[in-house]
Homo-oligomer: A and B are copies of this chain.
């Protein structure tokens, strides 16, 4: 009945299962969810576990429950998309190419500004971290055994951190997910990886040189490249 996932206790498994189903549209705002009693029966578990799952989903904005009325599905606009679980459920159910475009629009807002803030406020050790990621990218660009993707993620995460703004750094999971989806739609051509690494290196240098505008523009360019690639892909498939 429930997909068993390692390291997740019963109520967490049910949360996952129901969350996925809700985001996939198996339960709508109109229909609502079955009653607690019915869910107990369906999953063959106690009310304790069901209720804890319901509470967790409610905490993520997916549902709400009231006596006599039962459990109702919240409007999708109330779902907390910046919750890692909700985001993964969304990707499981949506055509990822379309979501990817939304991701890139968001990255185009966040990351250039983060780079500018980093150029202004980063501490030296933050910039060292960024540079370390750049070095890893350079290595991965030529060494097939090293992971370009991991280095890329480290770069973008460390820039968010260097912005010294909690709200930017908080989006690291969002960016990570966006990068994961990106590589699913990228041909694994390592041809221009060296050039990509150098584009990242330029951003790092701009931050180190305390050039906010330059860092911002370079980051914008970087993400724009990915965007134009995706738009071409969308056009090709339609």
**Does A235 interact with chain B (Cβ within 8 Å)?**
no
Quote the shortest CB–CB distance from A40 to chain B (angstroms).
15
Q: B102 contacts A166, CB within 8 Å? A: yes
B102 and A113 within 8 A (CB): no
Q: A109-B110, A109-B113 are in contact. Are A169 and B77 (CB under 8 A)?
A: yes
- Quick one: closest B residue to A47, CB to CB? B48
Tell me the number of copies of this protein.
2
Cβ contact of A105, chosen from B55, B82, B108, B165, cutoff 8 A: B165
**Residue of B with least CB distance to A111:** B109
Looking at the complex, which of A56-64, A146-154, A190-198 is the stretch in contact with chain B? A56-64
Given known A52-B55, A56-B59, contact A81–B113 (CB-CB < 8 A): no
A2 on interface, CB distance cutoff 8 Å: no
Task: Please tell me if A106 contacts chain B, counting CB pairs below 8 Å.
Answer: yes
Q: How far is the CB of A227 from chain B (nearest CB, A)?
A: 12
Say if the beta carbon of A27 comes within 8 Å of chain B: no
**Cβ-based interface call for A11 (8 A):** yes
Cβ contacts under 8 Å, A60 to chain B: 59-60
> Knowing that A56-B56, A59-B83, A80-B82 are A-B contacts, what are 12 other residue pairs whose CB atoms are under 8 Å apart, sorted by A's residue number?
A48-B48, A55-B55, A55-B59, A56-B59, A57-B59, A77-B166, A79-B170, A82-B82, A105-B163, A105-B167, A109-B114, A110-B110
A to B CB contacts below 8 Å, 9 in the list: A11-B55, A52-B55, A57-B59, A59-B59, A59-B60, A81-B167, A82-B167, A102-B165, A105-B163
